Amino acid sequence: MTRYARQTSRIHNLNASWLVTTFCLVLPFQFLTAARADNAPQKARRVRFSYEAEVRDIPQDAREAKFWLPFPPNNGDQQISNISVRSDVPTSVNTEGEYGNQILSLAVHAPIQQPIRVALQFDVLRRERRNAGAAAGKPVVAVIPEKIAPRWLQRDVLMPIDGKVLELALATTRGRESRFDQVHAIYDHTVSTLKYDKSGQGWGRGDIAYACDAKRGNCTDFHTVFIGLCRARGIPARFEIGFSLPTDTPAGPIAGYHCWASAYVPEFGWIPVDCSEAQKHPEMREYFFGAHDEHRVTFSTGRDIRLNPAQQGDRLNFFVLPYAEVDGRPHDKIDRKVQYENLSTE
């Protein structure tokens, strides 16, 4: 488990009084190097990432306002350092029990001072994740079997894995005997059948019924189809969400989130895929079966999220955007700004 040494100080200026929290991370050794399936050089990218949010239009008679923001994890794919949190009130970082996601939160009683502001900044060294055995279609190293959490085989609220989904999964994998071939067939079906298209309504929720019928959507819809068909066939699959890092400029804003997936086959381990990027960039289709590039930052894993401290509203479909409640009811008047700046990887 990651451990934090925390130091707090106050910074005053003409406009506001910010509470600034810095985190110094002490990483277990296994987080310092990422597992590789081959000897090819591992690509990496280092950026300074900032995530600002402002909860506005809180009713004057509100008794309590609560706010939650995803907090980036340390793992074999990314190393987080130099974390700083600025806020109007004290914040805390907690871990939810189902997926192990870390969550930055705060609560304000009688929130007469508006708006409530939080600014998270950190440096991240993101590494390419590539399963060379999956890319080549055969294991190249011995893989130690992993104990798989039951959650990676279960349905989500918007992703049933029985009925029509099971029928589609069986049809998609018909004649494919091995788990690896089944995963590849599901990937090919998802990339070939869906179109990256954010027009109209219904897209972006990860609703597998919508995605399969409309045959279009964004990354959430693509990976819901991939994960749902895998789980329907009894293949563990997991959902990750965060932000893509632009590659055309050294710094700037990030407009929206991005998500991706992995499927588990015992003799290959976890196989990373990015179905929506493969559809948008056909020349990268082979690469994105078995790889996640270094141009991304993970913020959370899984769907149907119960936060910590728990929200009073429904579980969150996924957790990458700020979430707030006022007197126990969801409050969607939240402005956000996400930015990045390239740093040297040396």
* 253-281: pLDDT as tens digits: 999 999 999 999 999 999 999 999 999 99
pLDDT computed for residue 28 by the predictor: 37
State residue 41's pLDDT score: 79
For the chain, what percent of residues have pLDDT higher than 90? 83
Check if the beta carbon of residue 229 is closer than 8 Å to that of residue 165.
yes
Chain-wide mean pLDDT for the chain? 90
| pLDDT for residue 250 is more than 70 | yes
Fill in the DSSP letter of residue 150: G
pLDDT of 239 reads: 98
- Residue with the bigger pLDDT between 56 and 23: it is 56
Q: What is the distance of C-alpha 340 from the center of its chain? A: 17
What is the band of 305 on the pLDDT scale with cuts at 50, 70, 90?
very high
Cβ within 8 Å of residue 7, ≥6 positions away: 21, 22, 24
Segments in 79-204 forming alpha helices (H): 132-136, 163-172, 179-193
Band (38; pLDDT cuts 50, 70, 90): low
- Give residue-wise pLDDT tens across range 308-332: 999 999 999 999 999 999 999 999 9
Residues in contact with 197: Cβ distance below 8 Å, sequence separation at least 6, in sequence order: 203, 216, 217
Phi, psi of 62 (to 5 degrees): -65, 140
pLDDT of residue 313: 96
For residues 206-230, average pLDDT: 98
Query: Are 100 and 64 in contact, with CB atoms under 8 Å apart?
Result: no
93-117 average pLDDT score: 93
Residue 29 pLDDT level (bands cut at 50, 70, 90): very low
Q: Which of 21-25, 53-57, 196-200, 340-344 has the lowest mean pLDDT?
A: 21-25
Assign 140 a pLDDT band (cuts: 50, 70, 90). Answer: confident
Contact status, residue 37 vs residue 133, Cβ threshold 8 Å: yes
Question: Which residues make Cβ contacts (< 8 Å) with residue 83, sequence separation at least 6?
Answer: 22, 23, 25, 120, 121, 122
Tell me the mean pLDDT in the region 231-245: 98
Q: What is the pLDDT of residue 23?
A: 58
Helix (H, G, I), strand (E, B) or coil at 118: strand
Cα–Cα distances in Å, from 239 out to 73, 116, 156, 302? 14, 30, 11, 5
pLDDT of residue 113: 66
| Region 286-300 average pLDDT | 98
> pLDDT band at residue 39, thresholds of 50, 70 and 90?
low
- How crowded is residue 126: how many other Cβ atoms within 10 Å of its Cβ? 25
Question: How would you classify the pairing of strands 78-87 and 17-26?
Answer: antiparallel
Distance of CA 154 to the CA centre of its chain: 18
How far apart are the C-alpha atoms of 225 and 239, rounded to whole Å? 11
Task: Kindly tell me if the per-residue pLDDT of 249 is higher than 90.
Answer: yes
Residue 92 has pLDDT above 90, yes or no: yes
Q: Name the DSSP letter for residue 305.
A: B
Report the distance separating Cα 302 and Cα 64, nearest Å: 28
Distance CA 212, CA 215 (A): 5
Would the pLDDT of 24 be above 60?
no
DSSP-H helix ranges across the chain: 132-136, 163-172, 179-193, 208-214, 219-232, 275-280
pLDDT-derived band at 145, boundaries 50, 70, 90: confident
Q: Say if CB 238 and CB 245 are below 8 A apart.
A: no
235 versus 18: which is more confidently predicted? 235
What the block records as the tokens of 86 is 């600025």
At residue 13, the pLDDT reads 32
